[in-house]
């Protein structure tokens, strides 16, 4: 059978496309231009498809690494360590934008201290220091009675392992406190400090809006500030009052120069206020009532709060630029999933690593699932220092229990059965510090029983529970690599990252049938 040519009279499509005999020269030119544009678009689509096939072919050799764990476990700090190790210039480019975060951390910490002092009438009760074993969850006072959650009955035991956690929802009463009516000298001092620091406290909300762009996240913590990937550039855009920057180079220039040129008025104002209030902040931080409330565990501060308050003289300096250590300690909560790409050279072979840092709050964990499908490796970060802490989203749930439940879900997920799994038992430095103050694990996790309260016993106890979860959900006999970490310690963490890199790369070669 004869195949019709393009302009064959037997081909109805050709007949339909054939120009009418009455076509004028002007109509012909328009038609030819339209055909040329259609061909250009078609050729561009073909080229895009070709490039996408090439990218997919190259991407087959990439490593996809997920950082998973609950909020405030240290995932974003670990991501910064990867960035510092494999892409240090990028950290330098965004260094100045961390100034906003650190100022917010300082102001927010001071606001928390002053609010707690106000709840206790700016005085320190004359009762003896609370037993270090007592619950440390921040208490709400109702008719003079302190309310607090009861300790977790146990970690995940053999009977409760499949179904999740054991965390008692019951509430128990603490000791009652009588508010002092008279104003003691210490209370007068704090009142004066509060009055002088009030203008600085008023910058808390504007700094939060600068970082988040006004975005709030429901169901993921009370009063927390969340940022999306690329917040560094958007912080500058918001400061400049611009909706969008046209090119990435312009973003980088803005990051490097906006503060120096005085374009971010808010951050400049906060810097001047911090410099002026530096001595008042020192007096508040060293005040006996503040120290007493901390000792009695009526005032709880996060590690980053204490870090920046200890270094307030440097942070409040007019020429302050965040150091790498400052950036590692700075706290800002991630919303959604942020991808970071690093070229990792090992044994002469360069491999692109796609590291995904995900939001760990309960309301954001649903966003993890789409990234499970083709993941090569997971680093699960669990903060072992959090045995005396409770979820911000659910004050009845012990954070260690929540980590174990989350780890169970990861280990049992069918999409992740063959994924290389690394466990970071993180914040060991804070665990040691808590145990040295006499804090008893058994008061928060009763299944700990009468075991010795020393660091080695405690950390091995937690490790055993995570290993038990893995054994019960390990049909493919996957090896679990476990590390005790403090991810703010750069030298130790980068040494561990090197070990993790080697183990992941061996798994990568095996999966690619290259060894």
Residue 178 annotated as binding?
no
Distance, in Å, from the CA atom of 404 to the CA atom of 462, rounded to the nearest integer, reads 10
For the stretch 428-437, pLDDT in tens is 999 999 999 9
Q: What are the helix (H) ranges across 60-174?
A: 75-86, 88-93, 98-119
Q: Is the dihedral of CA 474, 337, 490, 400 positive or negative?
A: negative
* Position 164 pLDDT exceeds 60: no
* Position 116 pLDDT exceeds 70: yes
For the stretch 25-39, pLDDT in tens is 888 888 889 888 988
* Position 171 pLDDT exceeds 90: no
Residue 333 annotated as binding?
yes
Residue 265 annotated as binding?
no
Residue 426 annotated as binding?
yes
Please count the helices (runs of H) and the strands (runs of E) in the chain.
18, 11
Residue 409 annotated as binding?
no
Beta strands (DSSP E) in 154-266 are 171-176, 226-227
Domains and CATH numbers, the chain: 63-93+334-509 (3.40.50.300), 97-321 (no CATH)
Residue 490 annotated as binding?
no
Residue 233 annotated as binding?
no
Give residue for tokens 């798994």.
Answer: 507
* Position 3 pLDDT exceeds 60: no
For the stretch 206-244, pLDDT in tens is 998 888 776 665 444 444 666 666 665 555 555 545 444
DSSP of 23-74, one letter per residue?
--HHHHHHHHHHHHHHHHHHHHHHHHHHHHHHHHHHHTT-EEEEEE-STTSS
Radius of gyration of the chain (CA): 29
Residue 328 annotated as binding?
yes
Partners of residue 349 on adjacent β-strands: 346
Average pLDDT, whole number, for the chain? 79
* Position 9 pLDDT exceeds 60: no
Q: What is the pLDDT of residue 224?
A: 63
Q: Is the dihedral of CA 84, 87, 89, 95 positive or negative?
A: negative
- The predicted model gives 341-345 an average pLDDT of 87
* Position 91 pLDDT exceeds 50: yes
CA dihedral in degrees (431, 434, 437, 440; nearest 10)? -90
Q: Are 368 and 409 in contact (CB under 8 A)?
A: no
Residue 331 annotated as binding?
yes
**HEC sequence for 353-375:** EEEEEECCCHHHHHHHHHHCCCC
Q: What is the pLDDT of residue 418?
A: 84
Q: Are 445 and 205 in contact (CB under 8 A)?
A: no
The pTM is what? 0.74
């Amino acid at each position: 059978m004869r195949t019709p040519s393009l302009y064959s009279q037997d081909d109805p499509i050709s007949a339909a496309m054939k120009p009418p005999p009455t076509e004028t020269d002007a109509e012909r030119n328009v038609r030819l231009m339209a055909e040329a544009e259609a061909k250009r678009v078609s050729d561009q689509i073909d080229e895009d498809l070709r490039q996408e096939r090439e990218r997919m072919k190259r991407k087959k050799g990439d490593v996809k690494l997920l950082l998973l764990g609950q909020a405030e476990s240290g995932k974003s700090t670990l991501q910064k360590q990867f960035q510092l190790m494999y892409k240090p210039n990028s950290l330098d480019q965004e260094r100045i934008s961390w100034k906003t975060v650190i100022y917010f951390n300082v102001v927010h910490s001071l606001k928390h201290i002053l609010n707690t002092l106000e709840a206790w009438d700016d005085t320190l009760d004359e009762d003896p220091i609370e037993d270090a074993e007592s619950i440390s969850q921040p208490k709400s006072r109702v008719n003079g009675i302190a309310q607090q959650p009861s300790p977790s009955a146990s970690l995940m035991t053999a009977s409760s392992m499949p179904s999740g956690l054991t965390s008692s929802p019951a509430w128990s009463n603490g000791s009652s406190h009588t508010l002092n009516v008279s104003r003691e000298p210490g209370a007068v001092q704090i009142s004066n400090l509060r009055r002088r620091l009030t203008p600085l406290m008023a910058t808390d909300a504007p700094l939060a809006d600068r970082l988040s762009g006004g975005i709030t996240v429901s169901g993921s913590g009370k009063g927390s500030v969340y940022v999306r990937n690329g917040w560094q550039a958007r912080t500058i855009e918001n400061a400049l009052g611009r909706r969008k920057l046209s090119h990435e180079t312009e973003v980088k220039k803005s990051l490097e120069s906006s503060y120096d040129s005085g374009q971010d008025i808010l951050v400049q104002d906060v810097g001047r206020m911090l410099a002026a209030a530096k001595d008042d902040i020192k007096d508040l931080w060293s005040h006996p009532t503040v120290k007493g409330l901390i000792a009695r565990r009526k005032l709880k501060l996060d590690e980053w709060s204490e870090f920046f308050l200890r270094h307030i003289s440097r942070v409040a300096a007019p020429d302050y630029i965040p150091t790498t250590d400052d950036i590692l300690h700075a706290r800002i909560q991630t919303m959604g999933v942020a991808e970071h790409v690093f070229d990792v050279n090992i044994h002469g072979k360069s491999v692109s690593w796609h590291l995904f840092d995900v939001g760990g709050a309960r309301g954001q964990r649903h966003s993890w699932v789409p990234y499970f499908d083709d993941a090569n490796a997971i680093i699960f970060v669990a903060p072992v220092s959090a045995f005396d802490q409770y979820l911000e989203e659910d004050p009845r749930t012990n954070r260690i229990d929540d980590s174990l439940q989350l780890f169970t879900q990861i280990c049992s997920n069918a999409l992740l059965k063959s994924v290389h799994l690394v466990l970071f038992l993180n914040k060991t430095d804070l665990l040691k510090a808590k145990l040295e103050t006499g804090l008893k694990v058994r008061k928060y996790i009763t299944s700990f029983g009468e075991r010795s309260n020393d660091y080695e016993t405690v950390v091995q106890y937690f490790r055993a529970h995570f290993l038990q979860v893995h054994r019960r959900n390990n049909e493919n006999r996957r090896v679990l690599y476990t590390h005790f970490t403090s991810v703010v310690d750069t030298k130790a963490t980068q040494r561990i990252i090197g070990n993790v890199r080697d183990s992941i790369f061996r798994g990568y070669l095996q999966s690619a049938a290259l060894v």
